[in-house]
Amino acid sequence: MKILVVGGGGREHAIVKKLAESRKVESLYCAPGNGGISQLAECFPVKATDLEGQLALAKKLKVDMVVVAPDDPLCLGLVDLLEQNGIRAFGPRKNAAILEGSKVFSKQLMKQYGIPTAKYAVFDDMQAALEYVAQQPAPIVVKAEGLALGKGVIIAQTQQEAADAVHSMMQDKAFGDAGNRIVIEEFLTGTEVTVLAFTDGKTLVPMVSSKDHKRALDGDKGLNTGGMGTISPNPAYTDEIAQRCMAEIFLPTVEAMRAEGRTFKGCLYFGLMLTQDGPKVIEYNARFGDPETQVVLPRLESDLCEIFDAIIDERLAEIPVHWKPGAAACIVIASGGYPVKYQSGYPIEGLEQAEAMQDVTVYHAGTKLENGRFLTAGGRVLGVTATGETLEAALTQAYAAVEKIHFQDAHYRHDIGRTK
Ligand code: AMP
Ligand code: GLY
């Protein structure tokens, strides 16, 4: 098969690498891709959000399948457009991607179908929102309704901070139109877990669990980022909790979406909080997580291409999905200053030495290949992943590989997998 993967980060590198292992795959393409991906797949400079450009590329390459990985083209309807043109596509249609694209939709769905989540209220009027926060106990969680590149969530420690967040979203438009409507939520405490799941809208197969470290600095300090490192499995996610999640959250979500006429086919991301009252949903994403994918897919034993194919044809129940025992850890090396302001274009040294190490894979998130040299080209630059028999072994090996890699102002967290 010829496959085009849409996107160009560490997640897409992990998807491309797994697809490259499949005997069914004869050619791999990626758009826009990045430096690392270009070693496995031919890359084309078409933006993920350029729907017409992606369609034209898929037609020109005569691909058998397009894998749409990032949130924005999914929410814009790239899968629908491809299907309308007779091209097989992996990922949810626009009417299902709304599960990620609209927090108001997802909260209402959970409420209606009794899926456990934080209590909430929705506002499109700033004055009403301000009156509401004045009556809530802190901390208070304020979220912009739409996609805001993972940054539209503010955990306010005081009522004043919450009021400031309401002002900045609704009046100053800090997140653009994403803040026209906001969700104000109860603050949940507990341990966070990510579970990605394959689903064809009828059958749901959870992948191995993971944990993302979202804050920029050691000790969970600093700003929220797209993710600074991950581990799999998540030690807090016991078999008993997994069974509860399946019964109380995963299957009810798939069934609710089908009942709404919004059958979800693709990878469904459950961001969960394990609270004293049981597991609750913090957020859904309509796609693979980044950098969760970089620790989950290396542990997949089955053929990813076969799984994608089965999901498109709604026969996921018929195929086995197996996982390797053991663990994986991914340490993100970012540009100094990420997630705010950073420089790009610095040469990256030591990649070969790191990759020569046993059980290590370096996924490229923001790099470009120029005259045979890898240069930094983004906020998150690399995701250094190691697998091992135990989490400790995977972490030790991943950090040993990180030590080999250097570029100017490189920044990474030293406590991935070691905080609560
Ligand atoms: P989200 O984009 O909804 O995943 O939010 C980003 C991060 O904010 C999550 O990973 C949590 O760490 C935190 N968060 C979001 N909602 C809540 C909540 N209701 N209670 C506690 N923490 C939350
Ligand atoms: N790592 C969090 C996300 O992919 O949204």
Residue 297: per-residue pLDDT: 98
Half-sphere exposure of residue 299: CA atoms within 13 angstroms, side-chain side = 29
Report the residue among 269, 293, 413 best suited for mutation to probe ligand 2: largest number of ligand atoms under 8 A from its CB: 269
Residues 121-174 have pLDDT tens digits of 999 999 999 999 999 999 999 998 876 655 678 899 999 999 999 998 988 887
153 Cα–ligand 1 center, Å: 7
Complete edge-to-edge strand list for the sheet that includes strand 191-199:
204-206, 191-199, 266-275, 278-285
- Give the pLDDT score at 107: 95
Low-confidence ranges of the chain (pLDDT < 50): none
Which ligand 2 atom sits closest to the C-alpha of 283? 5
Report which protein residue has its CA nearest ligand 1's atom 16.
282
Any ligand 2 atom below 6 A from CB of 190: no
Q: Which ligand is nearest to the CA of 280?
A: 1
Residue 148: the pLDDT is 62
Indicate whether residue 282 lines ligand 1 (CB < 6 A). Answer: yes
Ligand 2 center from residue 289 Cα (angstroms)? 4
| 8 Å CB contact between 313 and 371 | no
Ligand nearest to the CA of 146: 1
- 364 Cβ neighbours under 8 A, 6+ residues apart: 10, 13, 34, 35, 36, 37, 374, 381, 382, 383
Ligand positioned closest to the Cα atom of 269: 2
DSSP 172: S
Task: Give me ligand 1 centre to Cα 112, in Å.
Answer: 21
The atom of ligand 2 lying closest to the CA of 291 is: 1
Q: Above pLDDT 70, what percent of the chain?
A: 98
Position 343 scores a pLDDT of 97
The verdict on the CB of residue 212 being under 6 Å from ligand 1 is no
Distance 59 CA to ligand 2 centre (A): 30
CA of 285 to the centre of ligand 2 (A): 8
- Tokens for 188? 């949940």
Beta bridge partners of 367: 376
- % of the chain residues with pLDDT over 90: 91
Please work out whether the CB of residue 118 comes within 6 Å of at least one atom of ligand 1.
Answer: yes
- Number of helices (H), then strands (E), belonging to the chain: the values are 14, 23
> E strand or H helix at 164, and its extent?
helix 159-170
Residue 76 CA, chain-centre distance (Å), reads 17
Residue 206: which H helix or E strand, with range?
strand 204-206
Q: Is any ligand 1 atom within 6 A of the Cβ of residue 153? A: yes
**Amino acid 417: pLDDT:** 97
Q: What is the predicted pLDDT for the residue at 224?
A: 85
Predicted confidence at residue 420, as pLDDT, reads 65
DSSP string, 241-282: HHHHHIIIIIHHHHHHHHHTT----EEEEEEEEEETTEEEEE
Check if the beta carbon of residue 314 is closer than 8 Å to that of residue 265.
Answer: yes
Give the per-residue pLDDT at 172.
85
- Radius of gyration (Cα) for the chain, nearest Å? 21
